[in-house]
Amino acid sequence: MEDIYSRKYIVNFLRETGVLEYKILHSIAVAVLALKIAGKVSKDENYLVDKKIVEAGALLHDIGISKTIDDLSPNHSSIGGELVRAHNYSEEIARCIEDHEYVIWSREDGEKLDMIMIRESFRPETWEEKVVSYADHVVFVYSECNKVKDFWEDLRCLQKASLPYWVDVFKKYFLGDLDATHPFIVRQYGHQKEMKKFVDPSFFADEEYKDIAEKMQKAQIEYGLKVPFAYADEL
């Protein structure tokens, strides 16, 4: 019997499902970072974070993108949850995937974005869910927007990184204008405030992370994405 939780199996599964190479590299970068954050949470919070859930949840968090294709479909999170349930992954893992956007705190929020709301809220609750969602956002700010200084010095860096993304998403879904006062953007402040203490500069100096982040950026450029990603310097 193959271990469906092993990194090797999951990377093959992502490929077979149709996740593009640059997204697979992004998912590995999120997993590498998430495991480090999980270690720190376990130490500081006197709670043993389940690393198997964190690693598989992080590797699989964007699997729904195989169905939505573009990067402006936040409903890839709910699609991903259903996909992994159908593939016999645990409920804990499905929830890490559904909750990774972080900002969907009500059925109404999700339905506006075509999400299948099988729960009232997709707000991360467990440490495993919080770690996966946060690692995704940290990779975004730190290695995709290349805002290293802001990450350490500005608690609003997640808001600044999220704003251009959500502006484009709202345009795509004809939801009107979105500005920095929208709850989706404001919520990112709390996210950074709660979780930043679990990140250490050594996490990024580590060869494994540096190597995967470099490969991810290279693949994003080859795919034709504008790298670094848009960032709202003024907020």
Q: What residues make contact with Fe ion under the rule CB under 5 A? A: 62, 136
CA distance 149 to 66: 33
Minimum CB separation of residue 132 from Fe ion in Å reads: 9
Minimum CB separation of residue 209 from Fe ion in Å reads: 15
Minimum CB separation of residue 30 from Fe ion in Å reads: 6
Residue 87 in tokens: 């593939």
Eight-class DSSP state of 199: -
CA distance 153 to 180: 19
Among 67, 29, 44, which residue's Cα sits nearest to residue 195?
44
Is the separation of the CB atoms in 91 and 56 below 8 Å? no
Minimum CB separation of residue 61 from Fe ion in Å reads: 6
When the beta carbons of 41 and 135 are compared against Fe ion, the nearer one is: 135
Minimum CB separation of residue 26 from Fe ion in Å reads: 6
Amino acid at 114: D
Q: Residues near 165 by Cβ (< 8 Å), separated by ≥ 6?
A: 72, 229, 230
Eight-class DSSP state of 2: -
Amino acid at 42: S
